[in-house]
Amino acid sequence: MTDITVKHLATLSPADRAALVRRSEADLSRFLDGAAAIIEEVRTGGDAALVRLGRTLDHAEGLEASALRATEAEVDRAFDSVPAEVIAAIEYGIANIRDFHREQVPEPMWLKEIRPGAFAGDRWTPITSVALYVPRGKGAFPSVTMMTAVPAVVAGVPEAAIFTPPGPDGGVDAATLVAARLAGVHTVYKCGGAQAVAAAALGTETVRPARKIVGPGSPWVVAAKRLLADVIDTGLPAGPSEVVILADDTVHGGLAALDLLIEAEHGPDSSAWLVTPSERVMAEALEALPRHLAQMDPQRAGFARAVLGGPAGGIVLARDMADAIAFVNAYAPEHLEILSETPFEYLGEITEAAEILLGTRTPNAIANYVLGPNAVLPTSRGAATYGPLSVTDFMKRSSVGYVTAKGYDEMAARTRTLAAYEGFSSHANAVGPMRTAYLKR
């Protein structure tokens, strides 16, 4: 027996509608104190603290302070232990992800002649060091390794390092090591959770501190990022996975149910809604869900049941497609699937979604692994202001200006006027006779 949450938008009060878009991640209060204590432990204890925390929180009995960084030999052994078809799939995914992200590389520099003899533009350079967080609490994520490492390498980051929790043997998941090497990242640290964020921000004897950390994680990771946001750039907010499946009357509800389970299986803190104006689609989905759940790994089915029977997932019946689309935009999902035979009909109406997957052959699963776009995406309504992880997240922009003798007089006169109005005498002096006296004509 599976209880699925069902909501009828037409009958909901504004407060109930607002409750529908809430995510588990919104309440970090349970995690902030614990994360703060872990950060302090790493600040004072360095490598020894990472080992202690890895042994207690990750049950990594085999973890040693001398081996916090994975060696080349460990990576070689990983290639021997990972099945050939998994390595081939990682290669296939990396090739597509690389192709996609190369399109995002900005011009290294552009300059425009703003006024005759006065030039201005932008220059892009890589961030010098970035930490890539790869989760491993409820499963291993070579795919997150691919999604974070490839754009870092394409951007030209000279020091990119992966941080991922150690397993019980003290080692890194083998496919994660394979994906790291194939993507071109050669530093992998065996630490996860809040302690990884602390190590990346503060450094330890072994871990070199980074300027930025990217990658999704559990609330422990999210809480530590929040606490260290003035020490390290924490990038886009990527917490528990979430999806909205928007289905019209042209598809089978069983298909919508199948795709609803993709992100619902990540963990009990995920969010997953099917929204449709079709009572038929809803009935078919409700009928299919128990059958689909029976086909799942039991632990994953337990997560999905918790999500779809709780306050953060289930089925939303809308009045019509406009009502359903309004729900999507208010929700601002991480992943959105438009399940329809005519998905482009609705695309123009969608304004808030980090990833929009169109039609009946583009399930979230394909995009999570191999399609090419980045699957590290903003959660918890972050899609209202952030986009997916991209090459420019690993770069920073400087503006560049160059005023020549031809352009100077006109600019200097306007500058003097504005500087005088604002009462800045040095600003005005810098573009007056005092400067002219120094200039070579």
Ligand X SMILES: NC(=O)c1ccc[n+]([C@@H]2O[C@H](COP(=O)([O-])OP(=O)(O)OC[C@H]3O[C@@H](n4cnc5c(N)ncnc54)[C@H](O)[C@@H]3O)[C@@H](O)[C@H]2O)c1
List residues near Zn ion by CB under 5 A: 368
Rounded distance, CA 139 to CA 56, Å? Answer: 18
Q: Which is nearer to Zn ion, 243 or 395 (CB)?
A: 243
Between strands 109-115 and 118-126, the pairing is antiparallel
For residue 233, the minimal CB distance to ligand HSO (Å) is 21
- Binding partner selected for residue 293 from ligand HSO, Zn ion, ligand X, none, CB under the kind-specific 5 to 8 Å limit: none
Interaction between residue 368 and ligand HSO (CB under 6 A): yes
Task: Pick from 148, 204, 270, 380 the residue near ligand X by CB under 6 A.
Answer: 270
Rounded distance, CA 217 to CA 65, Å? Answer: 24
- Binding partner selected for residue 278 from Zn ion, ligand X, ligand HSO, none, CB under the kind-specific 5 to 8 Å limit: none
For residue 121, the minimal CB distance to ligand X (Å) is 33
Contact 60, 169 (CB under 8 A): yes
Query: Quick one: which segment of 140-148, 160-168, 249-257, 292-300 binds ligand HSO (CB under 6 A)?
Result: 140-148
Catalytic residue among 263, 334, 337, 355: 334
Q: Where are the beta strands (DSSP E) in 282-389?
A: 313-317, 335-339, 355-358
> Hey, which residues does 337 pair with through a beta bridge?
245, 357
Q: Which is nearer to ligand HSO, 180 or 419 (CB)?
A: 180
Task: Pick from 42, 68, 126, 143 the residue near ligand HSO by CB under 6 A.
Answer: 143
Backbone angles phi, psi at 120, to 5 degrees: -150, 150
| Tokens of residue 436, six digits | 């002219």
Rounded distance, CA 175 to CA 405, Å? Answer: 59
Q: Which is nearer to Zn ion, 136 or 212 (CB)?
A: 136
Interaction between residue 241 and ligand HSO (CB under 6 A): yes
Task: Pick from 216, 313, 314, 373 the residue near ligand X by CB under 6 A.
Answer: 216
Torsion of CA 196, 201, 203, 204, to 10 degrees: -40
For residue 127, the minimal CB distance to Zn ion (Å) is 26
Query: Quick one: which segment of 126-134, 137-145, 162-170, 390-398 binds ligand HSO (CB under 6 A)?
Result: 137-145
- Catalytic (active site) residue 335: yes
SS3 content of the chain, % helix, strand, coil (to 5): 50, 15, 35
Contact 277, 350 (CB under 8 A): no
Q: Which is nearer to ligand HSO, 97 or 375 (CB)?
A: 375
CA distances from 372 to 220, 236, 367, 389 (A): 28, 19, 7, 12
> What is the side-by-side order of every strand in the sheet holding 313-317?
6-8, 313-317, 271-276, 242-247, 335-339, 355-358
* Number of Cβ atoms within 10 Å of the Cβ of 82: 19
Backbone angles phi, psi at 298, to 5 degrees: -55, -40
Task: Pick from 41, 173, 248, 263 the residue near ligand HSO by CB under 6 A.
Answer: 263
Catalytic residue among 266, 284, 335, 337: 335
Residue owning tokens 């050669």: 186
Which has the closest alpha carbon to 135: 197, 85, 43, 61?
197
Query: Quick one: which segment of 8-16, 81-89, 99-107, 191-199 binds ligand X (CB under 6 A)?
Result: 191-199
- Catalytic (active site) residue 103: no
Q: Where are the beta strands (DSSP E) in 99-252?
A: 109-115, 118-126, 129-133, 159-163, 187-189, 212-214, 242-247
Q: Which is nearer to ligand X, 106 or 387 (CB)?
A: 387
Interaction between residue 387 and ligand X (CB under 6 A): no
Task: Pick from 70, 223, 274, 375 the residue near ligand X by CB under 6 A.
Answer: 375
Task: Pick from 57, 152, 339, 395 the residue near ligand X by CB under 6 A.
Answer: 57
Mask for 376-415, x = binds ligand HSO (CB under 6 A): -x--------------------------------------
For residue 54, the minimal CB distance to ligand X (Å) is 8
Q: Which is nearer to ligand X, 148 or 276 (CB)?
A: 148
Task: Pick from 178, 221, 255, 383 the residue near ligand X by CB under 6 A.
Answer: 221
Task: Pick from 175, 376, 391, 428 the residue near ligand X by CB under 6 A.
Answer: 376
| Tokens of residue 279, six digits | 């009572």
Backbone angles phi, psi at 171, to 5 degrees: -100, 170
Q: Which is nearer to ligand HSO, 135 or 193 (CB)?
A: 135
Residue owning tokens 């790493």: 42
* 141-180 residues near ligand X, rule: CB under 6 A: 141, 144, 165
Binding residues for ligand HSO, rule CB under 6 A, total 9
Look up residue 216 and give its amino acid: P
Q: Which residues does the annotation mark as catalytic?
A: 334-335
